Chain A
Amino acid sequence: MRFLFKTDYDQDIRLFKHGGQVFWYGLLMALLLTAPFTVGEYVMSQLHFIFIYSIVGLGLMLLVGFTGQISLGHAAFLAVGAYTEALLQAKGVPVFISLPCAALFSAAAGLIVGLPALRLKGIYLAIATLAFNVIVEEVITRWEGLTGGNSGLHVKPVELFGVKLDGDAGFFYLCLGLTVLSILALMNLLRSPTGRAFVAIRDSEISASCMGVNLAKYKTLAFAISAALTGIGGALYAHKVSFISPEQFTLLQSIELITIVILGGVGFLHGAVLGAAFLIVLPQLISLAKDYLPANVGSSGLQAVVFGLVLIGFIIFEPLGLYGRWLKLRTWFELFPFYRKGMFRRQKSYMKSERLR
């Protein structure tokens, strides 16, 4: 077990708390940087998707895991990002302008959705965001002049400063870079007053406002930042799949995105990345398993069933998600043989004061 001797407030603020973290994250980074030379085309393609979904997952994690606002409409922000990127790229706008535009447009959409969040909570907010998802999907389908409707849009490969990133490696580094930047930005935010205000809103709106947190401002801000990250993810997604149409941004997509957050572990940035990796790897495992199953079991509905079962299983048996499972495992090893079963159980809270709203 590691004991940290703290002699400086800076030790609680810095991103890497000790040498072990520097080593392991450094190793991970080195492996990822050399990945284009060591892994095949297929794995490379899966890694692209993992990074894209990680960015989206991070955005959603900020909203759901840290601000406590549920959203069942994030596919809409994904769509806004993807279509913005596709249309601007078609006009010949360079990617270092179109990508921020995709983020900006999504953030604007996020602000609009954030407005009902000021009045709605829990399941009602979920329904409002769900409705937003359906509206955006419908608008994209009907606005044929702009979006091509159901016949979709083709998206060119990324071109950065005249260099085409259509090769796997170039696009890989772009996705990796943006994922790392997103993580750093969120970590910075979470160690500053803004991040703490988000967490305060999650845990108790009433006392957050009594501490001077402007609920309206911070809730819409959370929606905007979350949507901006999702928009960036959407733009990368458009480049990756090179063809976008409304049926990629349905409610089912939104549910897959929320699955990332729940499987990964609500309230952990690690959870967003782990959840994204799980979401991408699981279908591959299912299709591998199909070879060993009777022909009629391995039909197309299998994936949805497995996803549903996994989601339910996690909610019942491991509400802290994959990252929570890892924390428990690590603590078990650190404390061996003194680990107790209830160590991570959250204590029932004392009576809340009179509910004012």
Chain B
Amino acid sequence: MSFFRVENLGIHFGGVVAVDDVSFEVKRGEVYTIIGPNGAGKTTIFNLIGLLYPATAGRIFLEDKPLAGSVPHRVAQLGIARTFQNIELFEHATVLQNLLIGRHRHRAASLWQELLFTPAARRAELAAREAVEQVIDFLDLAKYRDSLVAGLPYGVRKVVELGRALATEPRLLLLDEPSSGLNPEETDDMAFWIEDIRRHLAVTVLMVEHDMNLVARVSDRVLALNLGMVIAEGTPAEVQAHPAVIEAYLGKAA
């Protein structure tokens, strides 16, 4: 049984083929990274997995169950959480509220219990808060707990977004360029957290990333894409040395 599998995935927008016949498999508990030059179709693959785009070809399986025919919020309820390349937080809410929304798939009280705020609803709230506090502790966000997201610096927002995804208690975590816009120090922290997420939280990570130092440090396996097609797969060192990858990034020797 495979944990997460993508088979012959493809999508085209009009005449533009964004992703073409991409297949890969992510094993439980590993960090799997997709790299590729701009426009290679990396984020598009994430949007296909999240069912934000309807795939024109191929299938996606989580624990051998196909995702197809589902809707975006069902994907989240199955335990696939994601972050966005350019951050999609709830701007006019506090960090705490943002993380609590991550608990949405674990909500326990019915609408009537919430309207009356019965003891059951209160217990559910306290449990959600406790789970969120663990994430806050894990990512060292305590001092930003009650700040509005709209006023936070970019680096902190990136961490908040990671926290929101972790608050869902995902089985598979999709990270879309976790280090983009971060300074070297913040990137270093991000690498620590990704390692910790895998080791201590036992979450499988599927990541899109450009920073090759980060990729080499945390990934078990790497998939290289160019123009929507797979050009190489293997360990970070193997992929980095692969002629097709070098050609895709640097061009052919004259």
- Hey, which bits of chain A sit against chain B, CB under 8 A? 9-10, 12-13, 185, 188-189, 191-197, 199-200, 202-204, 206-215, 221, 267, 346-347, 349-354, 356
Contacts and interface: CB of A to CB of B under 8 A. Distances in A.
A10 B133 CA distance: 13
B87 interface: yes
Contacts of B47: 356
11 contacts: A192-B121, A196-B100, A196-B101, A199-B92, A200-B93, A207-B90, A211-B101, A213-B101, A214-B73, A221-B111, A356-B52
Contacts of B117: 188, 191-192
Give me the 9 closest cross-chain CB pairs, A-B, nearest first: A212-B76, A192-B114, A203-B90, A207-B88, A353-B86, A193-B107, A212-B105, A188-B117, A209-B72
B240 interface: no
Contact of A9 (B88, B97, B130, B154): B130
Contact of A199 (B90, B109, B130): B90
B24 interface: no
B151 interface: yes
Given A191-B125, A350-B157, A211 B168 contact: yes
A352 B126 CA distance: 32
Given A188-B117, A192-B117, A212-B76, A353 B84 contact: yes
A204 B88 CA distance: 7
A210 B82 contact: yes
Contacts of B84: 206-207, 353
Contacts of A9: 126, 129-130, 133
Nearest to B118: A188
Interface in B81-120: 81-82, 84-93, 96-97, 100-105, 107, 109, 111, 114-117
B89 A204 contact: yes
Contacts of B114: 188-189, 192-195
A353 B168 contact: no
Interface residues of B, number: 53
Contact of A347 (B75, B81, B151): B151
A40 B72 CA distance: 57
B43 interface: yes
A191 B122 CA distance: 10
Given A191-B125, A200-B101, A206-B52, A213 B73 contact: yes
B164 interface: yes
B105 to A, nearest CB: 4
B85 A209 contact: no
A79 B177 CA distance: 52
B90 A209 contact: no
Given A191-B117, A194-B111, A196-B100, A203 B151 contact: no
Given A192-B109, A206-B52, A210-B76, A13 B126 contact: yes
B115 A353 contact: no
Given A354-B43, A356-B53, A211 B164 contact: yes
Given A353-B88, A356-B47, A215 B52 contact: no
A207 B164 CA distance: 10
Given A197-B101, A208-B90, 15 more contacts: A191-B117, A196-B93, A199-B90, A199-B101, A207-B84, A209-B73, A210-B50, A211-B102, A213-B101, A214-B71, A267-B92, A347-B150, A350-B87, A350-B154, A351-B86
Contacts of B126: 9-10, 13
B30 to A, nearest CB: 22
B182 to A, nearest CB: 13
A56 to B, nearest CB: 18
B77 interface: yes
A217 B86 CA distance: 27
A101 B86 CA distance: 47
A215 B71 CA distance: 10
Nearest to B125: A13
B139 to A, nearest CB: 17
Contacts of B72: 209-210
B61 to A, nearest CB: 19
Contacts of A192: 107, 109, 114, 117, 121, 124-125
Nearest to A221: B111
Given A13-B126, A192-B117, A347-B151, A203 B109 contact: no
